[in-house]
Amino acid sequence: MAGKTDEAYALARHRMVTEQIEERGIRNATVLQAMRSVPREAFVPLFLKRWAYGDRPLYIGYDQTISQPYMVGLMTEALQLKGSERVLEVGTGSGYQTAVLAEISAAVYSIERIARLSRRAERTLEQLGYANVHLRVADGTQGWPEAAPFDAILVTAGTAKIPYAYGKQLQERGRLVIPLGPHGDQVLHRFTRRGEGFDDEDLGRVSFVPLISS
């Protein structure tokens, strides 16, 4: 029975990547392969596993969600990772986005302010064998100074203003992908550091839970 269930999830995962990710314009082969590899069903509550590969976010408790698969693909591709980067993720949540990043980077440093979510994500990531992930329960707006600088920073919560720490902790030519704007009406931006300045690209409208400072 378990084998049949695993096969069904694998087929659903392949269909998700083809129909929800690739057909909507995500072309980075490394990102697509990462999303084919990570078992999304492992990161959602038991009663929601049947919907793990649906085209929508899912509730994971504590007023938080696991992002829609397409959004995970879009944000991961926007980071332009090659495989050798050190990545800061703000908002571990379920750990699904963390796992996708871990597939295509050297190390992921992920911060979550809700301790129970962080512990749950840690157990799942350990069970799946991700050894290049470092987790911390902390205020995500402060970044992770001891591990900086980072080649890329991904923020999975919306904010009206970019926390000062992110600019300080981003490497030259590093990319910051972050939703900016009021709750429910945000725009996803990619900032690329150029010396003391940043190039800014608009990646489209999104809706994320708010980034909360402790």
Q: Which of 67, 105, 110, 118 is catalytic?
A: 67
Alpha-carbon dihedral angle through residues 110, 26, 204, 182, given to the nearest 10 degrees: -30
Rounded to whole angstroms, the Cα distance separating 61 from 52 reads 15
* 8 A C-beta contact, residue 40 and residue 96: yes
67 as an active site residue: the answer is yes
Q: Does the CA dihedral 85-90-95-97 come out positive or negative?
A: negative
Q: Can you give the length of the chain in residues?
A: 214
Structure tokens at 124: 């799942």
Any idea which residue has 């995962």 for tokens?
A: 13
Using alpha carbons, select from 63, 79, 67 the residue that is nearest to residue 38.
67
DSSP structure string for 130-168: --SEEEEES-GGG--GGG--EEEEEE-SBBSS--HHHHH
Residues 33 and 17: their CA atoms lie apart, in Å, by 9
How many Å apart are CA 178 and CA 169, to the nearest integer?
A: 14
Catalytic (active-site) positions: 67
